[in-house]
Amino acid sequence: MRHLTDSLATEPDTAQAHLKWVNTFAGLGPGFFSELAPSPLPSPYWVGRNRAHARELGLEEHWLESAEALAALTGNQPLPGARPLAGVYSGHQFGVWAGQLGDGRALLLGEIETPLGPQEIQLKGAGRTPYSRMGDGRAVLRSSIREFLCSEAMHGLGIPTTRALCVTGSDAPVRREEIETAAVVTRTAPSFIRFGHFEHFSYRNQPEQLRALADYVISRFYPACRDARQPYAALLQAVSERTARMMAAWQAVGFCHGVMNTDNMSILGLTIDYGPFQFLDAFDPGHVCNHSDEQGRYAYNRQPNMAYWNLFCLGQALLPLIDNQEDALAALESYKTVFPDALQARMRAKLGLPDEQPGDKALIDSTFQLLAANRVDYTIFWRRLCGLSTQSGHEPVRDLFFDRESFNAWLLQYSERIAPVDSALRADLMLKSNPKFVLRNHLGEEAIQAAKLKDFSQVDTLLALLQAPFDEHPGQDAFAGFPPDWAASIAISCSS
């Protein structure tokens, strides 16, 4: 029989998280971080909650509804068992060695056991740390909503990423180009270790710490490397391969990260640190989404090379642990095959080709060229292409092109290739590979403007769509349309 007191245990305000903390990163020792508590924010409120992720983490059902969670995830109240710390790392920013950086505004609360395996919980925007340099340790509402939604959008797209559990806000003012308000994103990942962590200890000539860090990463995340002839070269190769697959996923979906500095590169090949990112609207290979990136270093079509450059920085950092340079270079070499193979596989799926045939690379290249020449909306093109030869026919696709003759020529080539493929099978593969919904800049912007007026409903709506971006979601076509004219004038900089 249920007792009345049973329901008290799940009463929102008394809910307990019952988190099982393991905190293995803290075991690396004091050279890797500074322990400190988050700085509280006044009168926090919920901005967005990811209940699906709460369930995946095995959190108590009502915990995300509780005052305890609101306080704890804003950094206003400690969670029993957590051991908050800011990690130290360095990095190359825009191609230049930047020296020590570190968690300037993120605090790792610790690591918990979950059904997904151990997960670290981090509060981004939780106040100043010893690594804040000139910064205020805060994150603004605008950038926090963008990170929250984009993490989950990427996950919904099947792209490796850090996750986001929630965003809380406060009316506390934060100075950027103008005065904004503060927010905290709760992020989760198996680890937030970056290439820059390795660079930090390598450049400081601290081989023992470098080795301890590499051994930690190998034992927890790359156990197969332990048995390799050269474990640290094997680690470099494994990271190169994961990074290559992540880059293929970005390019295929038209994602621009914007700040691919080595301190923003995850050792687990996860998309991390969402700042001035953008999903392409019109297909422009040279598109630069970060208005602070004047050289276009991180343009869409340069991203794969920039990832490779970053892997060289990681290789350089690991050299003291790898017996000879040839082994390091050989480990990096794998990127050159894994990236193109993974990209081709993703593009074949987008085209609805279940197997690989000799002319496929040429077909994929000519598709990219055609889209670029006509500045076609990237997401809409692929989604409309799913309907080719089914109910909607090829007119909706053709309508996207001003150069109809080139389109017709391409269509002929494509039609020949897909002729032997079962059309139901092809449509099914394509609908699973070409999202209807991506987090376009203007969608994020509209949700942000409403949130600034304390209407968080669009954050919820977008979260639900982006978590299942391949589904039709009848009645929500307004979120799958062309960007409005004003979208072109949204300027996204590093300021966050």
The count of residues interacting with Mg ion (CB under 5 A) is 2
Smaller CB separation from ligand AMP, 138 or 245: 138
Name the one residue in this structure whose structure tokens are 């602070």: 292
Of 272 and 429, CB closest to Mg ion: 272
Between the CA of residue 72 and those of 67, 80, 279, 419, what are the distances in Å? 8, 10, 32, 58
Q: Which of 6, 215, 227, 263 is catalytic?
A: 263
Q: Tell me, yes or no, if 263 is annotated catalytic.
A: yes
Going through 21-154 in order, the beta strands assigned E by DSSP cover 33-35, 45-49, 85-87, 90-93, 96-100, 106-112, 119-124, 139-140
Q: Residue 138, interface with ligand AMP (CB under 6 A)?
A: yes
Q: Which is nearer to ligand AMP, 58 or 104 (CB)?
A: 104
Alpha helices in 375-403 (DSSP H): 378-385, 395-398
Closest C-alpha to 150, from 251, 56, 272, 244: 272
CB of 93 to ligand AMP, least distance (A): 7
Nearby residues of 416 by Cβ (< 8 Å), 6 or more positions away: none
Q: Which helix (H) or strand (E) holds 166?
A: strand 163-175
Residue 320 beta carbon to ligand AMP: minimum distance, rounded to whole angstroms: 24
Binding-site partner at residue 105 among ligand AMP, Mg ion, none, CB < 5 to 8 Å by type: ligand AMP
Q: Is 188 helix (H, G, I), strand (E, B) or coil?
A: strand
User: Tokens at residue 306, please?
Assistant: 């920039």
Q: How far apart are CA 47 and CA 454, in angstroms?
A: 8
Q: Cβ(98)–Cβ(203) under 8 Å?
A: no
Q: Which region among 170-178, 273-281, 386-394, 402-410 touches Mg ion (by CB under 5 A)?
A: 273-281
* Site for ligand AMP contains 359 (CB under 6 A): no
- Residue whose tokens read 């360095």: 90
| Residue 135 touches which member of Mg ion, ligand AMP, none, C-beta under 5-8 Å by kind | ligand AMP
**147 is a site residue for Mg ion (CB under 5 A):** no
* 199 contributes a contact to Mg ion by CB under 5 A: no
Q: Answer with the entry of ligand AMP, Mg ion, none that 137 interacts with (C-beta below 5 to 8 A by kind).
A: ligand AMP
Collapsed DSSP state (helix, strand, coil) of residue 99: strand
CB of 130 to ligand AMP, least distance (A): 11
185, 144 in Cβ contact below 8 A?
yes
Q: Which is nearer to ligand AMP, 147 or 152 (CB)?
A: 147
Residues 89-108 close enough to bind ligand AMP by CB under 6 A: 101-105
The angle at the Cα of 300, spanning 375 to 192, to the nearest 5 degrees, equals 145
Helix (H) or strand (E) holding 162: none
The nearer residue to Mg ion, 186 or 264, going by C-beta atoms, is 264
- Which range in 58-66, 139-147, 271-279, 479-487 contacts Mg ion by CB under 5 A? 271-279
Task: From the list ligand AMP, Mg ion, none, pick the one residue 138 interacts with, judged by a Cβ distance below 5 to 8 Å according to partner type.
Answer: ligand AMP
Cβ neighbors of 445 (< 8 A, separation 6 or more) are 487, 490
Count of chain residues binding ligand AMP (CB under 6 A): 16
In contact, 53 and 165? CB cutoff 8 Å: yes
Shortest-Cβ-distance residue relative to ligand AMP: 135
Nearest to Mg ion of 241, 263 (CB atom): 263
State in angstroms the smallest separation of the CB of 254 from Mg ion.
22
Nearer to ligand AMP, 259 or 385 (CB): 259
Question: 179-189 and 85-87: which strand pairing?
Answer: unpaired
Contact pick of 264, 303, 310, 374 for Mg ion (by CB under 5 A): 264
In the complex, what is the shortest distance from the CB of residue 279 to ligand AMP, in angstroms, rounded to a whole number?
19
Cα–Cα distance for residue pair 489/486, rounded to 1 Å: 5
Rounded Cα–Cα distance for residues 243 and 339 (Å): 8
Residue from the set 65, 111, 180, 273 that interacts with ligand AMP by CB under 6 A:
273
Among the candidate windows 35-43, 51-59, 65-73, 268-276, which touches Mg ion by CB under 5 A?
A: 268-276
- Asked whether position 137 contacts ligand AMP by CB under 6 A, the answer is yes
Which residue minimizes CB distance to Mg ion? 273
| Least spacing, CB of residue 200 vs Mg ion, in Å | 14
Rounded Cα–Cα distance for residues 311 and 300 (Å) = 18
Closest to 32 in 3D by CA, of 233, 268, 211, 259: 211
Decide whether 140 or 165 has the Cβ nearer to ligand AMP.
140
Angle at 392 between CA 390 and CA 393, to 5 degrees: 70
Residues within the interface to Mg ion (CB under 5 A): 264, 273
Write out the catalytic residue numbers. Answer: 263
Q: Which residues contact ligand AMP (rule: CB under 6 A)?
A: 101-105, 131-132, 135-138, 259, 263-264, 273, 275
